[in-house]
Structure 1
Amino acid sequence: MRDEALPEDGELVEQVVPELEPAAEPEFLNDVTQIYLNEIGANPLLTPEQELSYSRLARQGDQAARQKMIEHNLRLVVNIAKHYLNRGMPLLDLVEEGNLGLIHALDKFDPERGFRFSTYATWWIRQNIERAIMNQSRIIRLPVHVVKELNSVLRAMRRLEAASARETGVEEIAQLLDKSVEEVRQVLALNEHVASLDAPLDIDPSLSIGESLADDMAETPETQIQNSEVEHLVTEWIGMLSEKQRKVIEYRYGLNGHEMATLEELAERLSLTRERVRQIQIEALAQLRRILKRHGVSRDILL
């Protein structure tokens, strides 16, 4: 393979997007956005065999293989970044932060541990984007623990909406997270920067944000593989819990074909008190966090 020098982290977008002639800022930004999306769309998803080969070479210091791994996973970054469009940062800024997370993931990735890279990288991409939002998008800074709470609520909302194919109510989110409705409502109120996918782009009012992304972006091969692998890994890790812990987690989070149940419903089903079910859930999540830590992955996967 050709030995190419990898650009510095901050230069990744410039490496992927050819330099353009100077232009007025709105047109320039519009051109960069379109060119970038076109460029990354030309890179197909790597097969498992290609990914294993390139990641092994990259781990050994092969810069061309490293660049290949980065370029063929840029679509994954866009796919993740679009979920943060309502958080006060432009798409390209989110993508740039996600790209840095992608690079960091590649630095830490060990192909011999059995993970697909897209599955592993997702956790680092999310973390980098969320940290950037926390640091850059708010005039009034929120404490770190509050931002984490907001991220948890928004992930729960997406999970419920994906499962029911409808808009989720505050009561359902509160039930899933075992929080009060008022607590969830207060957390959601912090998310003041709301942008719909149907809202017009600032750089081109004739296009919506949704129209600027590929129609199949929500179900790309990257997403399908990632979701399949995450489901497999979570099932495997949940199997390490005690039988009672496993049942509580499966029913509380709607895993392995079970419908989500409230603490009251589970208490009746398991002939336990509501408080005892809640304690088992806390114990099970703590055990899962320990398992995830041993595998070097983020606990965010639990939502």
Structure 2
Amino acid sequence: MTQKSDDVLDYKEDEIEDEGLLDDEAEPDAAALATEEVGNDEVFAKDDSQKTMDATQIYLGEIGFSPLLSAEEEVYFSRLALKGDQAARKRMIESNLRLVVKIARRYINRGLALLDLIEEGNLGLIRAVEKFDPERGFRFSTYATWWIRQTIERAIMNQTRTIRLPIHVVKELNIYLRAARELSQKLDHEPTPEEIAAALDRPVEDVRKMLKLNEKITSVDTPIAGASEKMLLDIIADEKELGPEAELQEADIRQHLVVWLNELNPKQREVLARRFGMLGYEPSTLEDVGHEIGLTRERVRQIQVEALRRLREIVTHQGLNVETLFQE
């Protein structure tokens, strides 16, 4: 069982650049396939390291018993599969399960477990078996790679994002992310938006917007590591809460507010008191204040401006800030 599992992990598949997702019914063109020949009959040297016999290893061991197909066998079984032969279809699928594993391993740490990636890739493999035309002259593994990658990438997009992105946006985002990965290896540090923009010859602002789409969203109910009962919400600062210094300053201002209001003329004092709910009044609109004291709305506004300017001078002279007290 373990030996077969090692063979599966050593399945060879040439490196293929991530170029975004295909549409559900799209077909890879001949030019693209010609540059992506994938070997289906070679294995690398076996890895003798100990492996944990978990569900993944059990699956890998099971699929290792399916023999690979030669080029001639691929043509033979694919022709039968196109005619509806279920046994041939099954043989095509089982013989290429190791290809799915090889491709799925390249998407580890992208938000889905390896078994989930393999499951999605298997759906792409089945799709490839249904659509493969052996008369086009390409190896099946080359053709299937397109469909396997599509289903895996689509699953990552749909299952790991709170907000789903359109396919064309994902394709564009993949270009930026691929450039970022290449630059990080070349520069030995995480590239800045400016460095990515220079490499792609794109505006820096466009790079920032696209990279922002890749930001992960974390639930505030996420448990904090090492704290069994605490959630992320428990330690997030409330931006609406004032700091200690601001609270002390506001308390000092309110304590002296009546004294400062008495330095205004009676009309200014009454307008501010009625507008902002002081001296026993409820907060009112400019129009309501005008009705209550027999002035037009515009005249009330003018008095308010004059009163605030005078009050600001008084408070500023005391070295304090009155702005937050009179926000509408």
The normalised TM-score by structure 2 is 0.43
Q: Which has the larger radius of gyration?
A: 2
> Which of the pair is proportionally richer in helix?
1
Higher relative contact order (CA 8 A, sep 6+): 1
